Chain A
Amino acid sequence: MMKRLACPFCGPRELEEFTFHKTVAEPGSSAFEAVYERRNRVDSSLEHWQHVAGCRAWLLVHRNPTSGDVLDVKVLG
């Protein structure tokens, strides 16, 4: 179960410090698809999060939504 996220700047922090913003669209999506359509892969989800109650960095988080494991956290951009 996901209880923490490892911020690249601050290290592992409680999940409550972070806010999920949105799921990243599949490559090659149109503007409409990017807003309204989701691929919903059961083993992989690429998301934008922000370390709102911390350093406020925007993060690119790769998770497995079925197991709850965090696969990778990068600084966005």
Chain B
Amino acid sequence: MHARGAGNRYSAWSLLRARVAGSGYWQRMWGGAKLEPAYDVVVVGGGGHGLATAYHLARDHGIRHIAVLEKRSIGLGNVGRNTTIVRSNYLLPQNHYFYEDSLRRWETLSRDLNFNVMFSQRGVVDLATSDDEMGTLARRGNAMRLAGIDAELLDAKALERFVPRIDLNVPRRFPIIGGLVQRRGGCVRHDAVAWGYARAAAAHGVDIIEDCEVTGVRSAGGVATGVETNRGFVKADRIVFAVAGHTGAVGDMLGTTLPVETHILQAAVTEPIKPLLDTILIYFYAHAETYILQSDRGGMVMGGALDGFPSYTREGRWSRLEEVVQGAVELLPQVAGLRILRNWAGTNDMTMDGSPIMDRFVFDNVFLNGGWCYGGFKAIPASGAACARFVATGTAPDLVRHFRLSRFADGNLLDERGGGPFPARQ
């Protein structure tokens, strides 16, 4: 434990006080914690899921000694590499109830964390290019509405009203005929999510240790006793792995198999332009996929399908980027002249059915929070709350019970896309 100070509470009042107090009023949001030799819970991975889990363990379950061990620095992993979209437009009940819980938490997160995460409910629109796709979207929308989640099927006219910048008369190889919108979906500033959770967790007494890489798990008598790190052994009663794209590598470290493969997903952002798109568009056409939104800074953020083969390299293949950009230009010809400012890739722990894993793992006191595929960002608030409850009480909450590892063996797969056990195609 260390002296951490409660931190500043952000408000109009604190702005005034800072003005009076002058420099030195604002405290660090986190950092300065010293690694202790033993903890009640060690969370491996300081990304969104790890930080949220630690935050809820401390806030909701009163666990005092928690460490989050991060290999590099807070915010440099997938929590800062995603395209910031949050939504709960899933077909399967096990998925849409969970992601709806997450979406509701996003709606109040800025208040809960006392940190503005810039949540913008600008709507998420899945576009259809054929009658078959309209039928599939209608089915998904109806499943959501039965669960009390907002969904609205848009025909071409309604779509043009909702997204005036899409000109449906532009000749397209795969003409757009309608879509499904979830108006409560939207985007969040991802860096703020990492910082907000880190700050809130630190304020609740969580030790956030950066540059601390876990290299192994020590066990005795079939129970994990702690983790080996580059700073020595850390004793832990319970261990949570929330390492996103490195879930497979953790399996390798522990010498076990997992229903997971690591694949690469790319994204790109253009130079900033004036407001063009005030919603989020997802465009499936033939074999390819492009989704696009405009960031608050004005850049057009876009991404598409996985690269298609297992890799930890974070280096995307050129043809995929080309395909994403082609889709973006077909969708919004206005962006054709823009320059790409940055493009990057992230690693995704793709499961065999495209749904996540939250379960005990190898040892009874080791928990795995992973397999989020390319959709982990939107799950952060619900995942943190559920994982914390699982770790604190020893029982998986109803919302995540079906995310167990044994579902592959007992045949209860959550195959949202119906694509079979091919991680590259989820």
A interface with B by C-beta (< 8 Å): 1-3, 15-16, 19-20, 22-23, 26, 32-33, 35-42, 45, 47, 49, 65-68
Chain B residues numbered 297-313 whose CB sits less than 8 Å from any CB in chain A = 308-313
Say which residue of B261, B312, B317, B409 sits within 8 Å of A38 (CB atoms): B261
One digit per residue, 1 when the CB lies within 8 angstroms of any chain A CB and 0 when it does not, for chain B 244-262 equals: 0000110110000111111
CB distance from B236 to the nearest CB of A (A): 23
B interface with A by C-beta (< 8 Å): 248-249, 251-252, 257-262, 308-313, 315, 317-319, 352, 408-409, 421-422, 424
Q: Is the CB of A36 within 8 A of B352?
A: yes
Q: Which residues of A contact B251 (CB under 8 A)?
A: 38-40
Closest to B253 in A: A42
Q: Is the CB of A65 within 8 A of B311?
A: yes
Q: Is the CB of A39 within 8 A of B252?
A: yes
Q: Is the CB of B421 within 8 A of A35?
A: yes
| Contact A22-B422, Cβ < 8 Å, known A1-B315, A65-B313 | yes
Whole-angstrom CA separation of A42 from B319 in the bound complex:
25
Whole-angstrom CA separation of A26 from B258 in the bound complex:
12
User: Can you list 22 A-B pairs, Cβ within 8 angstroms, ordered by A?
Assistant: A2-B313, A2-B317, A3-B317, A16-B317, A19-B308, A20-B310, A20-B424, A23-B261, A36-B259, A37-B408, A38-B259, A38-B261, A39-B251, A39-B252, A40-B260, A40-B261, A41-B252, A65-B262, A65-B310, A65-B312, A66-B313, A68-B313
Say which residue of A16, A20, A32, A40 sits within 8 Å of B258 (CB atoms): A40
Q: Which residues of B contact A3 (CB under 8 A)?
A: 317-318
| Contact A68-B315, Cβ < 8 Å, known A38-B248, A38-B260, A40-B258 | yes
Say which residue of A32, A47, A66 sits within 8 Å of B409 (CB atoms): A32
Q: Is the CB of A38 within 8 A of B258?
A: yes
Q: Is the CB of B421 within 8 A of A36?
A: yes
Whole-angstrom CA separation of A33 from B261 in the bound complex:
13
Q: Which residues of A contact B308 (CB under 8 A)?
A: 19-20
Interface of B is mostly: mixed
Say which residue of B252, B315, B318 sits within 8 Å of A42 (CB atoms): B252
Q: Which residues of A contact B352 (CB under 8 A)?
A: 35-36
Whole-angstrom CA separation of A1 from B314 in the bound complex:
10
Whole-angstrom CA separation of A1 from B422 in the bound complex:
24
Whole-angstrom CA separation of A40 from B257 in the bound complex:
7
CB distance from A35 to the nearest CB of B (A): 5
Whole-angstrom CA separation of A15 from B320 in the bound complex:
11
7 closest residue pairs by CB, A with B: A40-B248, A20-B309, A37-B257, A36-B408, A68-B313, A1-B315, A66-B312
Q: Is the CB of B262 within 8 A of A40?
A: yes
Closest to B422 in A: A22
Q: Is the CB of A39 within 8 A of B257?
A: yes
Closest to B349 in A: A40
Q: Which residues of A contact B315 (CB under 8 A)?
A: 1, 68
Q: Which residues of B contact A23 (CB under 8 A)?
A: 261, 310
Q: Is the CB of A15 within 8 A of B317?
A: yes
Say which residue of A16, A33, A41, A68 sits within 8 Å of B319 (CB atoms): A16
Q: Which residues of B contact A22 (CB under 8 A)?
A: 422
Q: Which residues of B contact A15 (CB under 8 A)?
A: 317, 319
| Contact A45-B310, Cβ < 8 Å, known A36-B408, A68-B315 | yes
| Contact A42-B310, Cβ < 8 Å, known A33-B257, A35-B421 | no
Q: Which residues of B contact A47 (CB under 8 A)?
A: 309-310
Q: Which residues of A contact B262 (CB under 8 A)?
A: 40, 65
CB distance from B149 to the nearest CB of A (A): 30
Q: Which residues of A contact B317 (CB under 8 A)?
A: 2-3, 15-16
Could you say which of A2, A33, A37, A40 has the most chain B C-beta atoms within 10 Å of its C-beta? Answer: A40
Whole-angstrom CA separation of A36 from B423 in the bound complex:
10
Q: Is the CB of A37 within 8 A of B319?
A: no
CB distance from B396 to the nearest CB of A (A): 20
Whole-angstrom CA separation of A42 from B311 in the bound complex:
9
Whole-angstrom CA separation of A68 from B311 in the bound complex:
7
CB distance from B407 to the nearest CB of A (A): 10
Whole-angstrom CA separation of A39 from B255 in the bound complex:
8
Whole-angstrom CA separation of A39 from B249 in the bound complex:
9
Q: Which residues of B contact A40 (CB under 8 A)?
A: 248-249, 251-252, 257-258, 260-262, 310
Say which residue of B257, B309, B313 sits within 8 Å of A1 (CB atoms): B313
Q: Which residues of B contact A67 (CB under 8 A)?
A: 313
Q: Which residues of B contact A1 (CB under 8 A)?
A: 313, 315
Could you say which of B251, B261, B312, B408 has the most chain A C-beta atoms within 10 Å of its C-beta? Answer: B312
